[in-house]
Chains A and B, each alone.
Chain A
Amino acid sequence: MSNSRISYSQFLCLFFVNRIVMVLTFLPIFNAPPKNQDVWLSVVFMYPFSILASLPLIYLCSMFPNQTFTSILNIIFGRASTIFTVLYIWFFFHITAIQLAQFVEFMATAVLPETPILFFIVTMLIVCIYALQKGIEPLARFSQITTFITLFSFAIIMIISIRFFDFSSLKPIFEKNISHPIVGGIYLCSLSSEIITIGMINPYIVKNKNSILKDMTKTIALAFLLVDIFYLAITVLVLSLFGYTQASRLSFPFYSAIKVLSVAEFLERFESLHMAVWIMGIFLKTTYFMYILLIVIQELRNTADNFAYAIPFACVLAPFVFYIIPDFLSLDRFMSYRYFTLYSYLFIFFIPLFTLIFAKIKLRLKKR
């Protein structure tokens, strides 16, 4: 596996595709607070929370520009960091399995119900392993292509769907009170498990050492802004077409919305386009998280090559995906705001924040 480096713009593309991919099908906000047409406000509130949640990692990256987050943990906590590293191995492994499970769920439910799910898992893992062998730089280049295709195709879909937009579906605004959409925003932010990858990809980014904080914040802010704009447009489109009650009962609201879109009742069935973009995205996300998982293992084991762990981990992943999806509802329940919010925040926000505070204290004590 090559240890080539990527630019900020490539990182932005990686981040954007990774975050938007789940929005394109599952649109999880429809099952989270405020549980009414105010869900679009949750998407708006997601933006500041996402930036805030990223700040501890961005600070840590500027303090340790050539270290991954797990190496930073080692520097700060010494031997005790092994516990955190193992926890993170679990987290990345789990998130990769969730991505695969969601891919399988979508394909087996909406597109190819008769195809055995083992076929999806194995084919996806084979392609992922091939991509892992190439390293982060080709993956980042692929993300640039995917970002362009995603932005272009969804811009077309949004233009097509302008006549379907019905802003009366968003009324009344603040039906309950402002706190519900805020809770929704916090939940949506928790789904951004990509935040932790800021810390993991940190040493692989080519950067100007004098302006790391500024550049990184700018990249993340822009990536989340892009995500938020698309997320908002998708949410408003789904609300306009189906209304909240119907949309909340759909397994794949955006996919269902695309299925009913048409241009002058002549050009229709855009779902194939959606599927192509989505599969590209899910492949990228799975590979990206697997790559990060391998980096952490490599650091823990202190070995030269991390690709050696790719095939063994892929072999463990396949049965694990079966384990976490006995049925669609189990995964859906786990990904709901009741369970996933706290689970995710622990890894993407609380541990990095705790590390940052500890690092600052340690630095001050050293200065004294």
Chain B
Amino acid sequence: MKKFAAALVLLLIPVFLTGCWNRKELNDILIVQAVGIDKNKSGDFKLTYQVLKPKVLKNPTNLPSSSQQKGVWCFSSTGKTIFDSIRNATLSSNKKLFFSHNKIIVISSKIATNGIKDILDMFLRDQEMRSDAYLIVTSQDIEKFLDTTSPIESIPAKELENVIKNYFANAKTFPVKLYEFQKMSMSKSKTAVVPFVTTKSPLKQFSQTQMFYVEKMAIFNNYKLVGYLTHEEMRGLLWVFDKVRSGIYPIKLREGLFSLELIQSSTIIDVKRKDGKAFFTLQIITESNLGEKHLNSSISSSLMVKIKKELSRSIKNDIQKTVKKSFELKCDILHLGDIYYSSYKEHLKFDKNSISVSIVVKPFIRRFGMMKE
């Protein structure tokens, strides 16, 4: 009898294994790759989604040359709140949106100027969302931006992700994830940067495909878009953040033109306080290789010194531009307030007259490529 009861229990167990309440069948969901946030004229939120087309993606021979062969399709929905807009998407689509694979959150620059703190709340609160999605700002129409046909990847969001992650090669941009943006915005300086991306035609003549282009970096102060950093200013900021991995510094001298490829860099920031003024010292050590030379003669030692000097000057120039922009916008882009607070446990008075930034650069040119001269 006992054995019979045990067998009955074992047979009954599979009844409970039919799946849980939260099961999500692949056939019943739309996998969101990118989401764009904007507001319409009536003040309601307008969300645009870039969702996967699994049937197209199943066939790898499909090239993303036409909209039919694109691995994604876009549509939008509106609502009083972000969540309301997302749920309203089910009014037009036959499947529910699934955000666990969302890679990109695109925010319209129009709404970014009014502040995005409340907009991001839903993305941080909902259990399905992931805070490792990248943030992007654009001034273009979000629908057009997300509906772009990218030339390489069949999923434009993937291509956009790769473009912003290329900072390690150019040192002119910086990808920022949602939780990193929150961390920066919740620091003492309350300032964060986000890539500003637009689309452009690959060539001058008309093309069906569009490429993503990181035009500049948007500066957020207390969650509000307050300005932009140019590529050079962003490079200055990356020096301060010690995030320069590689990049090219073109050096123009009377003798000729040179390209230096940064291979390894480090930045140490020190702060001293004197007479109520904060003195920041940035010590940068950078190693580079000679990548290009527009000069007939070989490189002499004196020329090497000149190139190094010019490299130092260029780096200093980039950082000074960023510092200048910081004071212009009256926001602590360089997070100097955090560094000061770490040392003195006091808030930094962010004022041009009470802050001094000095930069010391130690450049090294290590190798000359495959040519001796």
* Co-complex (A, B): yes
Check A246 against B183 for contact (C-beta < 8 Å).
yes
Residues of chain A from 108 to 132 with CB closer than 8 A to chain B in the complex: 109-116, 119
Say if the beta carbon of B345 comes within 8 Å of chain A: yes
Say if the beta carbon of B341 comes within 8 Å of chain A: yes
Report the nearest A residue to B165, measured CB to CB. A265
CA distance A263 to B355 in the complex (A): 39
Residue A168 contacts which of B130, B132, B165, B342 (CB distance < 8 angstroms)?
B342
What are the residues of chain B within 8 A of A109 when measuring CB–CB? 127
Report the nearest A residue to B269, measured CB to CB. A168
CA distance A109 to B343 in the complex (A): 39
Check A246 against B20 for contact (C-beta < 8 Å).
no
Closest beta carbon of chain B to A179's beta carbon, Å: 16
* 9 additional contacts (CB under 8 A) given A168-B342, A172-B341, A256-B179: A112-B21, A113-B22, A172-B345, A175-B345, A241-B183, A245-B186, A246-B186, A260-B131, A268-B132
Residue A260 contacts which of B21, B132, B165, B343 (CB distance < 8 angstroms)?
B132
Contact with B along A258-282 (1 / 0, CB 8 A): 0110100100100000000000000
Report the nearest A residue to B344, measured CB to CB. A172
What are the residues of chain A within 8 A of B177 when measuring CB–CB? 260
Residues of chain A from 213 to 256 with CB closer than 8 A to chain B in the complex: 241-243, 245-246, 256
* 4 pairs of A and B residues whose beta carbons are closest in the complex: A171-B342, A245-B186, A115-B21, A114-B21
What are the residues of chain B within 8 A of A110 when measuring CB–CB? 127
Say if the beta carbon of B182 comes within 8 Å of chain A: yes
- Greatest chain A CB density within 10 A among B22, B127, B341 is at B127
Check A115 against B341 for contact (C-beta < 8 Å).
no
Check A243 against B186 for contact (C-beta < 8 Å).
yes
A-B contact list, 14 entries, CB within 8 Å = A109-B127, A114-B22, A115-B21, A119-B21, A168-B342, A172-B342, A172-B343, A172-B345, A175-B345, A242-B183, A243-B183, A243-B187, A245-B186, A260-B177
Q: What's the tally of chain B residues with a CB closer than 8 Å to chain A? A: 18
CA distance A103 to B32 in the complex (A): 30
- Greatest chain A CB density within 10 A among B22, B165, B179, B187 is at B179
CA distance A256 to B183 in the complex (A): 14
CA distance A121 to B165 in the complex (A): 44
CA distance A109 to B22 in the complex (A): 12
Closest beta carbon of chain A to B102's beta carbon, Å: 13
Closest beta carbon of chain A to B162's beta carbon, Å: 10
CA distance A168 to B184 in the complex (A): 13
Check B186 against A112 for contact (C-beta < 8 Å).
no
Q: Which residues of A contact B (CB under 8 A)?
A: 109-116, 119, 168, 171-172, 175, 241-243, 245-246, 256, 259-260, 262, 265, 268
**Dominant secondary structure at the B interface:** loop
Closest beta carbon of chain A to B135's beta carbon, Å: 14
Check B179 against A242 for contact (C-beta < 8 Å).
yes
Residues of chain B from 303 to 360 with CB closer than 8 A to chain A in the complex: 341-343, 345
Closest beta carbon of chain B to A48's beta carbon, Å: 26
Residues of chain B from 112 to 157 with CB closer than 8 A to chain A in the complex: 127, 130-132
What are the residues of chain B within 8 A of A265 when measuring CB–CB? 165
Check A113 against B179 for contact (C-beta < 8 Å).
no
CA distance A77 to B343 in the complex (A): 56
Closest beta carbon of chain A to B153's beta carbon, Å: 15
Check B179 against A260 for contact (C-beta < 8 Å).
yes
CA distance A104 to B41 in the complex (A): 43
Check A259 against B130 for contact (C-beta < 8 Å).
yes
Report the nearest B residue to A116, measured CB to CB. B21
What are the residues of chain B within 8 A of A241 when measuring CB–CB? 179, 183
CA distance A116 to B345 in the complex (A): 48
Closest beta carbon of chain A to B343's beta carbon, Å: 7
Residues of chain B from 227 to 272 with CB closer than 8 A to chain A in the complex: none
Closest beta carbon of chain B to A149's beta carbon, Å: 23
Q: A110-B127, A243-B183 are in contact. Are A259 and B22 (CB under 8 A)?
A: no
What are the residues of chain B within 8 A of A114 when measuring CB–CB? 21-22
What are the residues of chain A within 8 A of B127 when measuring CB–CB? 109-111, 113
What are the residues of chain B within 8 A of A113 when measuring CB–CB? 22, 127
CA distance A243 to B179 in the complex (A): 10
Check A246 against B343 for contact (C-beta < 8 Å).
no
Check A259 against B345 for contact (C-beta < 8 Å).
no
CA distance A246 to B343 in the complex (A): 21
Closest beta carbon of chain A to B249's beta carbon, Å: 26
Check A112 against B131 for contact (C-beta < 8 Å).
no
Check B341 against A246 for contact (C-beta < 8 Å).
no
What are the residues of chain B within 8 A of A245 when measuring CB–CB? 186-187
Report the nearest A residue to B126, measured CB to CB. A113
Check A112 against B130 for contact (C-beta < 8 Å).
no
What are the residues of chain A within 8 A of B165 when measuring CB–CB? 265
Report the nearest B residue to A166, measured CB to CB. B183
Closest beta carbon of chain A to B183's beta carbon, Å: 4
Report the nearest B residue to A37, measured CB to CB. B342
Closest beta carbon of chain A to B161's beta carbon, Å: 9
Contact with A along B176-192 (1 / 0, CB 8 A): 01010011001100000
- Greatest chain A CB density within 10 A among B182, B183, B187 is at B183
CA distance A254 to B137 in the complex (A): 29
Check B179 against A246 for contact (C-beta < 8 Å).
yes
